[in-house]
Structure 1
Amino acid sequence: MIIQGKIALITGASRGIGRAIALEFAEQGVSRLILVARDRKKLAEVAGEIEARGVQVATLALDLTKSADVNIAIAQAWRSYGPIDLLINCAGVAHQTPFLQSSSPKVQEELSLNIMGMYEITRAIAKRMASQKSGAIVNVSSLMGKVAAPTMSTYSATKFAILGFTQALRGELAAHNIKVMALLPTLTDTDMVRNLDLFRWVVPMTPQEVAKALVAGLEKDSPEILVGWQSHLAVWCNRIAPGLLNKILLMAAPLSKRRANRDRHLREATATSR
């Protein structure tokens, strides 16, 4: 899909990967961008950057977990700005914690936004795309939708679910000339990631690199766009030697770093007492 001259709607567009995709699409010559996020102020800042590039932009301050609000907003946007050619489902949240210390409210937040929020806006837009017999949908999953990691069990569960959802829609919506793809970035340097304990040996990508990979994948009509050499290496290793990858993930996980720090403190305390 060539995005030049298209109308694209991007969720999670106020920061991180969503913001980078919006700016990259503006550089690539989309005719209009519709930006969706909960933070009205940050949306306005991104919109200003896009308008400076000569691209028409509209913002929707919207909570995707509220079904009625989503349906009303999409109906109004479709009437006001014309048929949407491309939907990028980028909104998401991640909570990192050992499973035995996890709490239901945080898990519910991940499920509500990562899964149900994506479902609500996709349904609202896909119905209209089916009527016009054209469109493309990109669901942003993650490398953790292919390879799960300790301390990220519920986040990984939502990202695995996104891949299943994407694969099912790809088959169902093909008859309506709607392409459905998945974008799978590795660890990316965003505000969300800066609040997490990083895994050893993982080098974060920039949001701009992810956005450029998406544009390239769209041009090739790739059903899955796996971003970064670390992602390709991890997926290959998971296919060839899953046991080895599991050991590497355990050594790299924040849990192992915490254990190492705990053991070091114990050794130091023991040496001091002697």
Structure 2
Amino acid sequence: MDIQGKTALITGASRGIGQAIALELAKAGVKRLLLLARDEAKLAEVAAKVSELGVEVVILALDLTKPVELNTALAQAWRDYGAIHLLINCAGVAHQTPFLQSQLPHMQEEIAVNLVGMYTITRIIARRMARQGEGNIVNVSSLMGKIAAPTMATYSATKFAILGFTQALRGELAAHNIRVTALLPSLTDTDMVRELKLFRWVVPMTSKQVATRLIAGLRKDEPEILVGWQSHLAVWFNRIAPMLVEKILLMAAPLSQERQKRYQRFRYARNAS
């Protein structure tokens, strides 16, 4: 994709990876950025940084889980600021807890934002892209979209689903000259991640590293952008030794030692039966 002179819309743009992508796109020569998130004050802070780089910026303080308001606001934005060439679905939430202690409202929020919200805005924008005959859509998944992690069951499920959604759209929308890409960062040092208990032996990368890799992948029209050497190594090992990777993940997960012992006893009993 040629980023120069294009208009991009980024969800989850008020912090973390979304903010970093906004800044890197501005440096790469994008003409206009539409920044979408729920927190208007934080969006304004990001917008000020983008403006300093000489890029026109528009703030959209919207909730992806409210489709009527979202549709109205995006239709108005399209009329006011012109066609959107690049949509980056970066908004997401994560709740970390062992599954048996998980809470239904947390699961519903993850699905509502990570999946339904992404579906809603993608449908709105993709229809307009199809009419204009061009566009690029980036869906931010995760390494957990390839390898599920203990204590992150619903989050992993949403990230797996994002990969399937992306693959399906890639085939369907190609006829309309719309490219659909999956971005898969590993553990990234963001506000959201700082609220989680980290997995042992995993070295977080920076949001800037993720954003820089995305720009490079877009320029090469890569359909799937896996970020970081840890991700490549984990995916490769999971292909050749999935049971070993499962054991390593269990050892790395922030579970109590007693839970790990119970799990090992269960696995031993199952294998012995």
By how many angstroms is 1:257 displaced?
A: 5.6
Letter in 2 for 1:238: N
Cα deviation 1:24-65 (Å, max 9, x = unaligned): 001111000000000000000100111111100001000000
User: Partner residue of 1:233?
Assistant: 233
Q: 5+ unaligned residues in a row in structure 2: which ranges?
A: 261-273
Q: Secondary structure at the match of 1:22?
A: helix
CA–CA distance in structure 2, aligned partners of residues 258 and 21 of structure 1: 41
Q: Residue 250 of structure 1 contacts residue 256 of structure 1 at CA under 8 Å; is this kept in 2?
A: no
TM-score w.r.t. length of structure 1: 0.94
The answer as to 2:77 corresponding to 1:77 is yes
User: Partner residue of 1:210?
Assistant: 210
Report % sequence identity: 74
Aligned positions of 1:173-192 closer than 5 A = 173-192=173-192
Q: 5+ unaligned residues in a row in structure 1: which ranges?
A: 261-274
CA–CA distance in structure 2, aligned partners of residues 80 and 67 of structure 1: 20
User: Partner residue of 1:264?
Assistant: none
User: Partner residue of 1:223?
Assistant: 223
User: Partner residue of 1:195?
Assistant: 195
User: Partner residue of 1:50?
Assistant: 50
Q: Secondary structure at the match of 2:174?
A: helix
CA–CA distance in structure 2, aligned partners of residues 70 and 230 of structure 1: 36
User: Partner residue of 1:7?
Assistant: 7
Letter in 1 for 2:77: A
CA–CA distance in structure 2, aligned partners of residues 258 and 208 of structure 1: 38
Cα deviation 1:154-190 (Å, max 9, x = unaligned): 0000000000000000000000000000000000000
RMSD over equivalenced CA pairs, Å:
1.0
CA–CA distance in structure 1, aligned partners of residues 73 and 179 of structure 2: 23
Letter in 2 for 1:171: G
By how many angstroms is 1:258 displaced?
A: 7.3
Q: Secondary structure at the match of 1:255?
A: coil
Letter in 1 for 2:173: L
Letter in 2 for 1:244: L
User: Partner residue of 2:144?
Assistant: 144
CA–CA distance in structure 2, aligned partners of residues 258 and 193 of structure 1: 25
Cα deviation 1:88-112 (Å, max 9, x = unaligned): 0000000000000001000000000
Q: Residue 97 of structure 1 contacts residue 152 of structure 1 at CA under 8 Å; is this kept in 2?
A: yes
Q: Secondary structure at the match of 2:183?
A: strand
CA–CA distance in structure 2, aligned partners of residues 92 and 258 of structure 1: 31
CA–CA distance in structure 2, aligned partners of residues 245 and 256 of structure 1: 19
Q: Secondary structure at the match of 2:255?
A: helix
User: Partner residue of 1:117?
Assistant: 117
Cα deviation 1:246-265 (Å, max 9, x = unaligned): 110011000156768xxxxx
CA–CA distance in structure 1, aligned partners of residues 250 and 104 of structure 2: 24
Matched length: 260
The answer as to 2:145 corresponding to 1:158 is no
Q: Secondary structure at the match of 2:97?
A: coil
CA–CA distance in structure 1, aligned partners of residues 60 and 72 of structure 2: 11
CA–CA distance in structure 2, aligned partners of residues 234 and 73 of structure 1: 41
User: Partner residue of 2:27?
Assistant: 27
Cα deviation 1:222-254 (Å, max 9, x = unaligned): 110000000001100110100110110011000
Q: Residue 141 of structure 1 contacts residue 183 of structure 1 at CA under 8 Å; is this kept in 2?
A: yes
CA–CA distance in structure 2, aligned partners of residues 70 and 38 of structure 1: 11
Q: Secondary structure at the match of 1:225?
A: strand
CA–CA distance in structure 1, aligned partners of residues 131 and 257 of structure 2: 53
Letter in 1 for 2:73: A
Cα deviation 1:72-101 (Å, max 9, x = unaligned): 011011001110000000000000000000
User: Partner residue of 1:169?
Assistant: 169
Query: Which 10-residue stretch deviates more, 95-104 or 251-260?
Result: 251-260
By how many angstroms is 1:2 displaced?
A: 1.7
User: Partner residue of 1:263?
Assistant: none
CA–CA distance in structure 2, aligned partners of residues 87 and 5 of structure 1: 15
TM-score w.r.t. length of structure 2: 0.94
Q: Secondary structure at the match of 2:148?
A: coil
User: Partner residue of 1:265?
Assistant: none
Q: Secondary structure at the match of 1:128?
A: helix
- CA change 1:257–1:39 in 2 (3 A) is farther
